[in-house]
Amino acid sequence: MTLPRLFRSALALGLLGAACAQAAPQVDVIARGLSNPRGLGFAPNGQLFVAEAGSGGNGVCTVLGDGQTACYGETGALTRVDPTGASAPVG
């Protein structure tokens, strides 16, 4: 590859990279206050449900692969989120 061709390729990649860096995704927050959300699902009637992992607890603890400690707890939940963003635990 000749130097001018290499320069043109590098310039094109640089311009492409700059264009991609400026294209930020559109994000809409639909619920707040969730505790480690892990999954989303829609009911047949269109209602949104969020599975929350919770924050652990005072139960049996174990050391994870990264050296952190995780303790069993019953803080997980299934939460229904309505179109206004209000959320309520299910069950």
Share of the chain above pLDDT 70, in %: 77
What pLDDT digit, counting tens, does each position of 35-47 carry? 889 999 999 988 8
Q: Which amino acid is at 11?
A: L
Long-range contacts of 69-77 (CB under 8 A, 24+ apart): 75/35, 76/35, 76/51, 76/52, 77/35, 77/51, 77/52
Q: What's the average model confidence in pLDDT over 21-27?
A: 80
